[in-house]
Structure 1
Amino acid sequence: MKTHRVNELIELLHPEWQKEPDLNLVEFLLKLAEEAKYEGKLEALTDDVLIYHLKMRNSDKEEMIPGIAKDCEDDFKTAILRARGIIK
């Protein structure tokens, strides 16, 4: 894991973990994994799952994931033309 990923994860994790100070770190990570509907072993949980879940944890259920929202087009024709490089 790169240093910037560690910093990003800690910045996102810290305020959320403070809301539940009775949980130790592993318990809190298990809770996050359950919330994210992760079904694998805890040791296989990736930083991406944690980062995206923490970013979206307190958002509206209908809100789009930030990384996807920037590339979203309202209509199909514009999306195709942009993908083919015809429009910018």
Structure 2
Amino acid sequence: MACHRIEELLELLEPKWQKNQELNLVQMLELIAKEAGFEGPLSELTDDMLIYQLKMGDSDKGAMIPGIQKDYVEDFDWKGALLKARGIEEEK
């Protein structure tokens, strides 16, 4: 894991750990994994899953992922875009 990912993980972990100061690191990882619905062994828990859960865990379950939300276009015309990309004008 690159240093910037470690720093991001620690930054996201701090507020959660402040709320659960009685837990040790392994217990905190187990808590986050349980909240994410992860049921495998901790050795298979990825940093991506931890980061995602720490970022999105308290948000509405129907909320869009921030990285996707910035690129989202409502009622996008996929067919028209594909035809235009292929150089075919869509008949109207």
Stretches of structure 2 that go unaligned for 5 or more consecutive residues are 88-92
Corresponding residue pairs, total: 85
Q: How does 1:1-88 map to 2 (within 5 A)?
A: 1-77=1-77, 81=81, 84=85
Judged with a 3 Å threshold, the aligned counterparts in structure 2 of structure 1 residues 72 and 85 are, in CA distance, closer, same or farther, namely farther
Judged with a 3 Å threshold, the aligned counterparts in structure 2 of structure 1 residues 32 and 85 are, in CA distance, closer, same or farther, namely farther
Q: Which has the larger radius of gyration?
A: 2
**Could you give the per-residue CA deviations for residues 30-87 of structure 1, whole angstroms, max 9, x where no partner exists?**
01001101122101111000001000122122211112212222114068628x499x
SS of residue in 1 equivalent to 2:20: coil
| Runs of 4+ residues deviating >4 angstroms | none
SS of residue in 1 equivalent to 2:77: helix
Judged with a 3 Å threshold, the aligned counterparts in structure 2 of structure 1 residues 21 and 67 are, in CA distance, closer, same or farther, namely same
**Aligned-partner Cα distance in 2 for 1:75–1:52:** 27
Judged with a 3 Å threshold, the aligned counterparts in structure 2 of structure 1 residues 56 and 44 are, in CA distance, closer, same or farther, namely same
Identity, % of aligned pairs? 53
Judged with a 3 Å threshold, the aligned counterparts in structure 2 of structure 1 residues 75 and 48 are, in CA distance, closer, same or farther, namely same
Bigger shift: 41-50 or 70-79?
A: 70-79
